[in-house]
Structure 1
Amino acid sequence: MSKCAFLGLGVMGFPMAGHLVSIGHEVTVWNRTQSKANDWAAEHDGKVAATPEEAVADAEYVCLCLGDDPDVEAVFDQIEEALAKGAIVIDHTTASAGLARNLYERCKGRGIHFVDAPISGGQAGAEAGRLTIMCGGDDDVMAKARPVMEAYGARITHIGESGAGQLAKSVNQICIAGIVQGLSEGIHFAETNGLDVARVMEAISGGAAQSWQMENRWKTMTAREFDHGFAVDWMRKDLRIALRAADDSGARLPVTALVDQFYGDVQAQGGERWDTSSLVVRFDTSRKQ
């Protein structure tokens, strides 16, 4: 098996790094808060590095799972000189396509390889090893990186050249934003008209309106429970990336821009860390007014 470094042990990275160990890879982890890395090592047979540079030394594969473009840039600046020739950097962060292309070129100039590979599936998908991974990069590099990503990815798709993975992730977030807003409006409409939401969902979930969000979130949305899943702050970051990419390409995203504003309303209500299904609370505010 391979020597892997995993940088970033959040709710996604923590279990992902564990899956690498479970299939036999030699894994060294680093996290900005070292106590989190120590917690990981207490559960898994791996090593903890004090610095990113130490983590990537001699690693064949370097996986990043960080927060945003500035986080990725800062960590890459630290590890660039320490990366071994021929190493493959796999960036699972949801970041911009522009950054992916920049890091691809920087790696290429040093005899290193880069794949942008943002993920979807949430914490539950990471823990189950059933993530969807959208990739951008060279064909031969993808062939080498795929077996590593299969430790935690159930669906791994090579979208195209560098940056294509990040653009595909924006498509994913654009679609989710519209679906959650539609589901929120549907639940609000049912509640306002005195319908039994459970019966409505039973009726429509087997038809064309069915979605993952409906199947997995209508109950918690109706109960106004949002302490799970993907946080509003993270979604707004992802939508910001999508909207900027749209500006660059000339794509028009009117609904996405509107839903992004609606998520801003949720943040203003103190819902920064609520699950993205919390869009439904906007209607509670409007009814009170």
Structure 2
Amino acid sequence: MSLDKLNQVVVYGLGAMGRPMARNLHKQNLLLGVKNRTRGKAQAMEKELNLTSFENDAVLFGTADCVLTCVSADNDLKAIISNLIPHMKPGSVVIDCSTVSPQTAQSISDDLAANGIVFLDAPVSGGVEGAKKGSLSIMVGGDRQTYKRAADIFSAIGSQITHMGKVGQGQATKAVNQVMVAGVAQAVCSSLAMAEQCKLDVKKVVEVLSAGAAGNWFLENRGQTMIKDEFNIGFKLDLLLKDLHICQSTLNTMDASLPLVQASIEDYKRLSEAGYGDEDISALIRLKRCELNHEDLPRESDNDA
């Protein structure tokens, strides 16, 4: 295996996270090209960053020494990897920044290894804000030497980069992360809904709680927006719901369960079915308000009436 640093990266997946990650790689002269299942997004980014437009996938991926993938779901990632394998050269690397199950990560790693391609599972946390700032927390599973070869790539997109162990352990860490994200959202949304019910000045509540033992990122960054009913700013609740199902399946492999995970799945499923799936996860406060007021959750379309 080559020990050279990886420096010819193709970003595959230009969603809310992939686009800023590609921009940050470009700033460090690491971005070779981009790819998206909808060609228009890739063309727009090629124009924005003045990237070479390769004649076909064989040339694009055959030139790259690394492909960084960032997509929404396990099956999407499996389909992309299947399409990549014929074009990538032996010794090249796939770094996946999606959130998928540890089992999917291991299966993909095995498929790539059979073709001489190395895989790192490298899910990220920090949201769109972190992707734009290049300050993501990155939890990496896979071969340590390959992890070191990818150091410049990780430094371009993140500020906390940690090698967690073998393939799949990056995704297992992300599952743990999402359990905590869901728990914090439950606590903050329930507390602020209670504060409203107590007729408190909720802006002051956010300020005073943020300065004490209850202070946390979610309260500080989403508290004021929840007060204003602004839910279009961050991580979509449908994506957290998808991640919580991964957490649940990971627990199932250990013959274990966590009530917090099941309760959060039920809450976010109710919100999604009511039409709020594209809103930030802080939209959970909608449900908590209704529960405290003994009201039914209105459908999103009712709010526009």
TM class by shorter chain equals over 0.9
Change (3 A) 1:127 1:92: same
**TM-score scaled to structure 2, two decimals?**
0.91
Give the structure 2 partner of residue 89 of structure 1: 94
Which of 5, 17, 26 lines up with 2:10 in the alignment?
5
Give the structure 2 partner of residue 68 of structure 1: 73
Letter in 2 for 1:170: A
Superimposed CA distance per residue, residues 39-77 of structure 1 (whole angstroms, 9 cap, x where no aligned partner):
111221323457654431121111101111100110111
Give the structure 2 partner of residue 259 of structure 1: 264
Give the structure 1 partner of residue 139 of structure 2: 134
Aligned residues: 289
Q: 1:36, 1:199 → 2: CA distance? A: 42
**Is the 2:7–2:31 Cα contact (8 Å) retained in structure 1?**
yes
SS at match of 2:9: strand
Which of 228, 236, 245 lines up with 2:233 in the alignment?
228
Equivalent pairs: percent with the same residue?
Answer: 34
Which of 42, 46, 71 lines up with 1:41 in the alignment?
46
1:14 aligns with 2:19: yes
Give the structure 2 partner of residue 185 of structure 1: 190
Q: 1:239, 1:135 → 2: CA distance? A: 20
**Is the 1:132–1:155 Cα contact (8 Å) retained in structure 2?**
yes
Superimposed CA distance per residue, residues 122-170 of structure 1 (whole angstroms, 9 cap, x where no aligned partner):
1111111111111100111111112212111111110110000001001
Give the structure 2 partner of residue 148 of structure 1: 153
**TM-score scaled to structure 1, two decimals?**
0.96
Superimposed CA distance per residue, residues 70-92 of structure 1 (whole angstroms, 9 cap, x where no aligned partner):
00110111111211111011001
Q: 1:69, 1:50 → 2: CA distance? A: 28
Name which of structure 1's ranges 188-197 and 200-209 shifts more when overlaid on structure 2: 200-209
Change (3 A) 1:105 1:28: same
Q: CA RMSD in A?
A: 1.5
Where structure 2 has 5 or more consecutive residues not aligned to the other structure, the ranges are: 1-5, 296-305
SS at match of 2:222: helix
Q: How does 1:102-117 map to 2 (within 5 A)?
A: 102-117=107-122
Change (3 A) 1:249 1:7: same
